[in-house]
Amino acid sequence: MTDSLNPGLEGVAVAETRLSQINGGQGNLAIRGFPIDELAGNARYEETVFLLLNGRLPTSTEYADFRDELSSHRQISEEVQAVLRRAAREEKPAMDALRMGVAAANLGVTEQDQGEDVRRVIAVFPTIVATYWRYRQGKEPVTPRDDLGHTANYLYMLTGEEPSEAQVAGLETYLNTVADHGLNASTFSARVVVSTGSDLVSAVTAAVGTLKGPLHGGAPGPVLEMLREVYETGDAERYVRETLDAGERLMGFGHRVYRARDPRAAVLESAAKRFYIDGGDADFFDAAQEFEDIATDLLSEHMPDRQLETNVEFYTAILLDGVGIPKDLFTATFAISRVGGWTAHALEQMDDNRLIRPSSHYVGDTQRSWTPVAER
């Protein structure tokens, strides 16, 4: 019997999960049963991660303990700092620096406790990214603060200044919104690695390498560039028409899974609206909303057979830029959130493991004969 061929594994289910549920046709997403619009705007990131790892929200005591456990693992070794310093000096991309730092995250660690590994990799992601970025700016790293939450501490380590409540709230909503999203490419990578019996750090390192690819995690930066250009010219319709007429992709629209508007876009739109309206930069936000309306109309006109709605990247770009995340760190900030989902999926895979080993269809030459090198 010949296995059916499904390029890109599209439509193939390879695991059962209790972590996130996606309805692409209706545009719904739930995390452990909680609708994303209800969870993202109310939870602190530590609560979302606890939910992913434990299947329920923490009590106040559990939340405080989990927050303390994460904060106690934020420090990175001098050896990791040296790697990040060199990566910055050579102007390596942030995702390369993160991959290098995560791969060495357990240097100097003697205990082999799985729970500790989970907390450590989640905790060090912001420190690695912020340390790299400080070196890129020619500055010394900012020591993490135990008294700040996960989100606030990341913003603090980037600048050395305590962030505003609005900045923390905006970024917290983002981190909650993208913490998990089904069996996406990077999550699949993490599950494949641990399915072999390998360790959690290796799985997360592989996931970072997967997320680096622009087809998975690299579009919010170009979205921001597009919106800034349109905001300056004031002619959104011309930009969209020229892009579509040239056969180019319009960044921030369309998704492999959703045939309706990405539910995460709605959550981040609301968060960005609060941030920009309260922060006094309403004109840019209004222009972005106008661009979305024009783009969706013209996409429907140009490609009536396809449902290309707004995806998560569109309002990610607007929100992250607003709260002060540099464009070069957009994908790395995505990873700071998604590591919660990666570790939860890795543990879920370990609980009921079967080696992930798909097959392939051979389409090469057959019945060839060996020829000695002198006769070739």
**Longest distance between any two alpha carbons in the chain, whole Å:** 78
Catalytic residue among 269, 309, 313, 348: 313
Angle at which helix 263-279 crosses helix 165-177, to 10 degrees, equals 170
The active-site residue, picked from 255, 269, 309, 348, is 255
Q: How far apart are CA 9 and CA 7, in angstroms?
A: 5
- Is 255 an annotated catalytic residue? yes
DSSP 321-373: HHHT--GGGHHHHHHHHHHHHHHHHHHHHHHT-----------S--S-----G
How many CB atoms are located within 10 Å of the residue 275 CB?
Answer: 22
Q: Judging by DSSP bridges, how do beta strands 20-23 and 34-35 pair with one another? A: unpaired
Within 10 A of 221 (CB to CB), how many other CB atoms are there?
21
Say how far apart CA 184 and CA 312 lie, in whole Å.
14
Name the amino acid, one letter, at 26: Q
Task: Quote the distance between the C-alpha of residue 349 and its chain's center.
Answer: 20
- Of 146, 327, 164, 147, nearest in space to 155 by CA: 164
Interior angle at CA 331, CA 261 and CA 204, nearest 5: 105
Report the C-alpha gap between 41 and 338 in whole angstroms.
17
Residue 267 tokens, joined: 């959550």
Beta bridge mates, 30: 21, 35
- The pair of structure tokens assigned to 315 is 């309002």
Catalytic center residues: 255, 313
